[in-house]
Amino acid sequence: MNNRNRGKNTGDDILFGSEKQISKLKLAVQDMQYLLTRGYAEKAASDLVGNRYRLKTRQVQALRGASASDGQIQNRKQKEQHISDLKGETVYLDGFNVLILLESLLSEAFVFKGVDGCFRDLSGVHGTYKRVNQTQRAIELVAAFFQKAEVHKLIWIFDQPVSNSGRIKQLILDFAIENQLNWDVELQFSPDKFLAESSGIIISSDAWILDHCKVWFNLIGYLIKEENLSVNLIQCYDE
């Protein structure tokens, strides 16, 4: 697995680095929320809003990640757990979702806080996962959470079809053994479906999983605050 960063793309500073662009994104998220609440499909809504504000492809990607309908926001908030709810519990973690987001955050890429309070980035797995310089630190942050929250067991769930999923599984298992952590790692062919149907507490920022799971915990929000992480954060709405 190659060592590299998962930082900003060329041009991201132009798309997200000025107050003018952030203000435009906030207005776009407001419009997107309005349309989604009234039953517009996500693609149709993002096309409409993207055209109105003349957004570039990565800005539309950020818009879609940051947006949700009023009903989705309410549903997700009702199911969100507090750190105290995790003590003694088994927790399922959306492996690539969490790991790549933490790697991006630690690489000083832009991270977006959406209307549901979740944090998302613009990276992703495109068939292959490649370890980066920040992978080890990301795993260590999850370990710090695991110990502070006094979670009974943490189960990482990764996409089996993704190349190198077996390697990251072994890396995490080795780390757990070395640090005496009650962790397990599973490779699933349909991880989103598996997590959504689980009766346990879920850690993910994937919108579909959050809409369909029983209960979830906002790990990234917790780590940013608890570990005082430096973040290139873009708040996509006015609180």
Q: Cβ distance 33 to 42 under 8 Å? A: no
C-alpha 93/C-alpha 75 separation (Å) is 20
Those residues with Cβ within 8 angstroms of residue 144's Cβ, 6 or more apart along the chain or in another chain: 223, 226, 227
Cβ atoms of 157 and 191 closer than 8 Å: yes
Query: Residue 179 CB: number of other CB atoms within 10 A?
Result: 13
Residue 130 CB coordination number (10 Å)? 16
DSSP string covering 100-114: HHHHHHHTT-EEEE-
Provide the token pair at 56: 């570039």
Q: What amino acid occupies position 5?
A: N
Give CA–CA dist 169/109, Å, rounded.
25
Residue-level pLDDT at 84: 97
CA–CA separation, 55 and 51 (whole Å): 7
Q: What is the pLDDT of residue 99?
A: 96
111-138: per-residue pLDDT in tens?
999 999 999 999 877 788 989 999 999 9
pLDDT below 50 — which residues of the chain?
1-2
Residue 230 has a CB neighbour count (10 Å cut-off) of 10
Q: How far is CA 88 from CA 33, 56, 221, in A?
A: 37, 45, 21
The per-residue pLDDT for 238 is 85
Q: What are phi and psi of 155, to 5 degrees?
A: -115, 115
pLDDT at 100: 95
- Per-residue pLDDT, 5: 80
Quick one: pLDDT at residue 155?
A: 98
The DSSP result for 37-95, as a single string, is HTT--HHHHHHHHHHHTT--HHHHHHHHHH---HHHHHHHHHHBPPGGGGTT-EEEEEH
SS3 at position 128: strand
Residue 143, C-beta contacts closer than 8 angstroms, at least 6 positions apart: 175, 179, 181
